Chains A and B, each alone.
Chain A
Amino acid sequence: AAGVIQSPRHLIKEKRETATLKCYPIPRHDTVYWYQQGPGQDPQFLISFYEKMQSDKGSIPDRFSAQQFSDYHSELNMSSLELGDSALYFCASSLRLAGDTQYFGPGTRLTVL
């Protein structure tokens, strides 16, 4: 079965640079979620989209923005990167009418130097 695809899998950036993370949900899934997992931490919700509209927002810094495109893929844009942004970023997708169980991608490991 197709899974959630995230790219890139690893990303190294310098402080103050910009990063773009991409997420391709499971086909036919209508909802995308982004989570951030710091070292030794549990995943923290950032933002979600349902049918290409932002539907919920968590503890996402103003330096971050995201959107979901017409083909349902989503991108998380991160600007003015800080050392503390180094983390594993997960994308998850779900199908609202099928119980909305979230299936996670493999994550993007972002390292900010």
Chain B
Amino acid sequence: AQTVTQSQPEMSVQEAETVTLSCTYDTSESDYYLFWYKQPPSRQMILVIRQEAYKQQNATENRFSVNFQKAAKSFSLKISDSQLGDAAMYFCAYRGPKNYGGATNKLIFGTGTLLAVQP
């Protein structure tokens, strides 16, 4: 069974600084998808970034980028120029191979990392 591990329950960063959140996962699949979702105090789940395992290039979205190490099964999120609005719980999530045969692929989440941004 696939598992996702976030070993940092809490992290803190100064405004305008850079922070990296860690995520490791376990799977026997070669084709899969990885995501980072942000959950601010409003509890809304907001997609931050997505990575396809077959792509070697690391995904980037503005100030958010990932370091995807497929062999090490590692998927870390880097937030540059941290802003107060970045304070939230961040969940790493795994989804298996795309399946057109009817079955869907649920997201498997890690336990989350609570990020605090200090002014």
- Interface residues of chain A, those whose CB is within 8 Å of chain B, are 31, 33, 35, 37, 41-45, 48, 50, 53, 55-56, 58, 88, 90, 92, 96, 99-104, 106-107, 109
Contact = CB atoms under 8 A, between A and B. Distances in A.
Interface string B105-118: 11111111000000
6 contacts: A35-B107, A45-B108, A50-B104, A100-B33, A100-B105, A104-B37
B104 A43 contact: no
Judged by DSSP, the binding face of B is loop
A101 B48 CA distance: 11
Nearest to B52: A99
A43 B43 CA distance: 11
A58 B98 CA distance: 18
B11 to A, nearest CB: 16
Contacts, number: 67
Given A42-B110, A50-B104, A55-B103, 10 more contacts: A35-B107, A41-B111, A42-B109, A45-B106, A45-B108, A50-B102, A53-B102, A100-B104, A104-B37, A104-B44
Given A53-B102, A102-B107, A42 B43 contact: no
Contacts of B106: 33, 45, 48, 56, 58
A101 B112 CA distance: 19
A109 B100 CA distance: 32
B75 interface: no
Interface string B23-48: 00000000001010100001111110
Contacts of B33: 99-101
